[in-house]
């Protein structure tokens, strides 16, 4: 039997002074119905650059309203105001650990419009770089997941491994994160044999270190207890809410842009798509862990099968050669499998200007935000961070 406690409940006054995108009636309604509003973020140890308005009933989450846009830096509007090639550094800023995938997608849209043929060696280098970034991003997300579960060692190990990734990127492109290395028609410059050898050896070093990460975090009983059967998205739900990338594959949909619409060298290499059926947080995490090993495989294949060819060095002449690109009239849409999922660039050109008329950029984070919010319903408040980490939600990427 339940006893009713008759205490007049008043919505807290502190909510009035804050800007939150929910009306005061909603707040009042929540407090009349014995629920509790918890505002998580943006300054919260377990939240990124966003606010989640969580309505909890006891310990159970009833509804989550996202408040994104804390890192909205207007990439789309700025892109309309710059030359096509000036947008290359711009589009990789939203997700800097995944910069080369973002770079690649944009460049492919231009190449698609201009129907440029890319040298085969450049294609292999691009694939290799994209996969290195994928490893780096998955490690970054694993680290964030670990720290959200309170496992600081699980945070430090991937970042230790990421230093190797950064080193590889520095040797190839010259920058730790944002290198703008991929340009229409190829890459900025060739990669020499010695560097390729270093990258090849580094893949084994990463693999070795991943084993200790596996021991301490992936197979840790506390981690499994926290992630298993938490935040389940069934296959139907995942499709309905348009979840993308590894999170879609964790729900049992075998969809990977690299397989369904192969670009660059992916069609010529031997690799698998890791898929899981459970759709819970742990399988979302495991799919990405398995993707790391697939990516390592791809990187090694790329280096082994790298065609011998002389690539043009664009250093010094880059602006003169590319400043005056004018795309033909029409709309050009490319799909790219970035680390966190499908990345869509849709460039609309009027056929006369050398700036895009409209550049639409849909990042994976923005696409799976809805699925993320739905998977939180019915879970416990403590699981908010576990699910957040399992999605690897990175607000700068989602907000653009």
Note whether 248 binds another protein by CB under 8 A.
yes
**Of 283-322, which residues contact another protein (CB under 8 A)?**
none
70-109 footprint of another protein as x/- string (CB under 8 A): xxxxx-xxx--xxx-----xx--xxxxx------------
Tokens linked to 60: 């159970």
Tell me the closest approach of the beta carbon of residue 84 to another protein, in angstroms.
10
Note whether 140 binds another protein by CB under 8 A.
yes
The answer to whether residues 360 and 105 touch, using CB atoms and an 8 Å cutoff, is no
Nearer of residues 277 and 324 to another protein, judged by Cβ: 324
Hey, is 73 helix, strand or coil?
coil
Nearer of residues 311 and 381 to another protein, judged by Cβ: 381
The answer to whether residues 265 and 302 touch, using CB atoms and an 8 Å cutoff, is yes
d(Cα 73, Cα 94) in Å, to the nearest integer?
Answer: 8
Tell me the closest approach of the beta carbon of residue 235 to another protein, in angstroms.
9
**Of 380-399, which residues contact another protein (CB under 8 A)?**
380-385, 396, 399
Tell me the closest approach of the beta carbon of residue 296 to another protein, in angstroms.
20
Tell me the closest approach of the beta carbon of residue 70 to another protein, in angstroms.
5
Which residue shows structure tokens 């609309």? Answer: 348
The answer to whether residues 396 and 291 touch, using CB atoms and an 8 Å cutoff, is no
Note whether 157 binds another protein by CB under 8 A.
yes
**Of 16-55, which residues contact another protein (CB under 8 A)?**
19, 21, 36-39, 42-46, 48-49
Tokens linked to 364: 């994976």
d(Cα 184, Cα 107) in Å, to the nearest integer?
Answer: 5
Burial of 306 from C-beta contacts in 10 A (0-12 / 13-18 / 19+) = middle
Tell me the closest approach of the beta carbon of residue 339 to another protein, in angstroms.
13
Tell me the closest approach of the beta carbon of residue 67 to another protein, in angstroms.
8
- Closest among 244, 122, 97 to 182, alpha carbons compared: 122
Tell me the window of 193-201, 238-246, 283-291, 310-318 that interacts with another protein (CB under 8 A).
238-246
d(Cα 271, Cα 291) in Å, to the nearest integer?
Answer: 10
Note whether 354 binds another protein by CB under 8 A.
yes
Hey, is 361 helix, strand or coil?
strand
Note whether 11 binds another protein by CB under 8 A.
no
Tell me the closest approach of the beta carbon of residue 361 to another protein, in angstroms.
9
Q: Which of 124, 181, 266, 332 binds another protein (CB under 8 A)?
A: 332
Q: How far is CA 181 from the centre of its chain?
A: 19
Tell me the closest approach of the beta carbon of residue 66 to another protein, in angstroms.
8
Which residue shows structure tokens 């720290």? Answer: 147
Q: For the chain, how big is the Rg over CA atoms in Å? A: 23
Note whether 222 binds another protein by CB under 8 A.
yes
**Of 191-210, which residues contact another protein (CB under 8 A)?**
none
Note whether 184 binds another protein by CB under 8 A.
no
Q: Which of 62, 120, 189, 360 binds another protein (CB under 8 A)?
A: 360
CA distance readout (Å), 96 to 22, 244, 394: 31, 19, 10
Note whether 149 binds another protein by CB under 8 A.
yes
d(Cα 154, Cα 47) in Å, to the nearest integer?
Answer: 17
């Amino acid at each position: 039997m339940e006893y009713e406690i008759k205490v007049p409940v008043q919505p807290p006054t502190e909510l009035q002074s804050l800007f939150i995108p929910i009306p005061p009636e909603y707040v009042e309604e929540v407090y009349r119905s014995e629920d509790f509003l918890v505002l998580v973020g943006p300054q919260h140890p377990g939240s990124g650059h966003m606010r989640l308005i969580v309505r909890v009933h006891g310990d159970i989450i009833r509804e989550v309203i996202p408040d994104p846009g804390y890192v909205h830096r207007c990439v789309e509007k700025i892109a309309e105001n710059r030359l096509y090639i000036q947008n290359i550094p711009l589009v990789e800023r939203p997700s800097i650990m995944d910069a080369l995938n973002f770079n690649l997608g944009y460049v492919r849209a231009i190449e698609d419009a201009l129907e440029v043929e890319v040298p085969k060696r450049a294609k292999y280098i691009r694939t290799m770089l994209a996969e290195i970034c994928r490893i780096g991003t998955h490690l970054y997300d694993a680290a964030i997941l670990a720290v959200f579960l309170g496992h600081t060692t699980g945070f430090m190990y991937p970042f230790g491994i990421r230093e190797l990734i950064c080193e590889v990127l520095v040797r190839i492109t010259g920058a730790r994160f944002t290198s703008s290395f991929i340009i229409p028609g190829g890459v900025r410059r060739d990669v020499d044999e010695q560097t390729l050898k270093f990258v090849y050896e580094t893949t084994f070093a990463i693999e070795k270190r991943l084993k200790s990460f596996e021991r301490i975090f992936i197979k840790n009983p506390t981690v499994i207890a926290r992630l298993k059967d938490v935040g389940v998205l069934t296959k139907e739900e995942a499709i309905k809410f348009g979840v993308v990338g590894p999170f879609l594959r964790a729900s049992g949909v075998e969809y990977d842009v690299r397989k369904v619409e192969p670009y660059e060298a992916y069609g010529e290499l031997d690799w698998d798509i890791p898929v899981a059926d459970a759709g819970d947080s742990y399988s979302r995490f495991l799919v990405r862990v398995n993707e790391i090993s697939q990516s390592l495989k791809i990187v090694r294949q790329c280096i082994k099968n790298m065609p011998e060819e002389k690539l043009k060095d664009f250093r010094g002449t880059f602006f003169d050669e590319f400043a005056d690109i004018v795309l033909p009239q029409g709309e050009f849409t490319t799909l790219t499998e970035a680390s966190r999922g499908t990345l869509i660039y849709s460039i609309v050109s009027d056929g006369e200007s050398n700036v895009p008329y409209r550049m639409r950029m849909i990042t994976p984070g923005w696409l799976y935000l809805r699925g993320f919010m739905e998977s939180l319903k019915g879970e416990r408040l403590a699981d908010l961070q576990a699910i957040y980490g399992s999605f690897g939600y990175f607000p700068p990427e989602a907000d653009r």
